[in-house]
Homo-oligomer: A and B are copies of this chain.
Amino acid sequence: MKIEVFFSPVGIDELGMRGRNVIIIDVLRATTTICTALSNGAREVIPTADIENATKISSNLSSDSRLLGGERQGKKIDGFDLGNSPAEYSPEKVRNKSIIFTTTNGAGAIHKCRYASTALVASFVNVSAIVETIVEIGGTWTILCSGRQGAFSVEDATCAGMIISKVKEVSEVDTEDAGLTTLILYKNYKKSILGMMKKSQHGQYLVSIGFEEDLKFCSNVDGVPVVPVVSGLVVRIKQPGSSAQSITGQTP
């Protein structure tokens, strides 16, 4: 397999991911939260880059079937139902709901992948499920780290390294400078993913605004073993037992 890594979506235009097989990572916290919401029974997540658009989409859905979720500066948006803490997305709250979701980095990165051939949402909580799926599909993959306001974030890169490392256990992997760097990061931090998060810029910020518990949730490797698939403008869960091939070519 061939795996390429981008450390942020900066410089990638709307069609930059067209035709690619992509894995989008925003460990703290968007992709962890999406995994959790879908695992807990949400019908779908609809990521969008801005609040205005989120509100517009929301107004087109019946109020008992949708929730507005997301953050700005890490905090719940005024008037929204949920913030961006994965633990908020409990079965009681999200079952059968469409969640319109806007966050600073991850939701926009996912939106940029809407023309990808296959686009999956990954985090530490579903690493093994993602690895199993991409190994089954094979071919060439791009890992798109969401980063932090256009800059590099160590938790996303380390998660990319964990994915590549696990693929390497079962397959040859051809990668490049960025991919090799994520492997070195993962080797360095694998004994304490939570410790790495606590040292990271965004981890420190989240602790400073009272979200330390989220770091524990987000560092729970394989705690939420689902495969969220971007299909056009929505993210839905790959049904257990369905073939990996059935999720390819989901985007236009």
Of A6, A7, A177, A201, most B-chain CB atoms within 10 Å: A177
Residue tally, chain A, CB below 8 Å to B: 24
State the number of copies, please.
2
Contact status of A181 and B177, CB under 8 A, knowing A7-B7, A10-B11, A11-B150: no
Binds B, one of A66-74, A106-114, A152-160: A152-160
Q: Is the CB of A185 within 8 A of B181?
A: yes
What is the CA–CA distance of A178 and B157 in the complex, to the nearest angstrom? 10
A207 within 8 A of B: no
Q: Is the CB of A177 within 8 A of B150?
A: no
Q: Is the CB of B180 within 8 A of A181?
A: no
Q: Is the CB of B177 within 8 A of A188?
A: no
Q: Is the CB of B7 within 8 A of A10?
A: no
A199 within 8 A of B: yes
A14 within 8 A of B: no
A137 within 8 A of B: no
From the candidates B6, B11, B199, name the one contacting A180 in the complex (CB within 8 A): B199
A184 within 8 A of B: yes
From the candidates B5, B148, B152, name the one contacting A181 in the complex (CB within 8 A): B152
A213 within 8 A of B: no
23 contacts between A and B (CB under 8 A): A5-B152, A6-B151, A7-B7, A7-B152, A10-B10, A10-B11, A11-B11, A11-B150, A148-B177, A151-B177, A151-B178, A152-B177, A152-B178, A152-B181, A154-B177, A154-B180, A154-B181, A177-B200, A177-B201, A180-B199, A181-B181, A184-B185, A188-B188
Cβ-closest 5 pairs across A and B: A154-B177, A10-B11, A152-B178, A184-B188, A177-B201
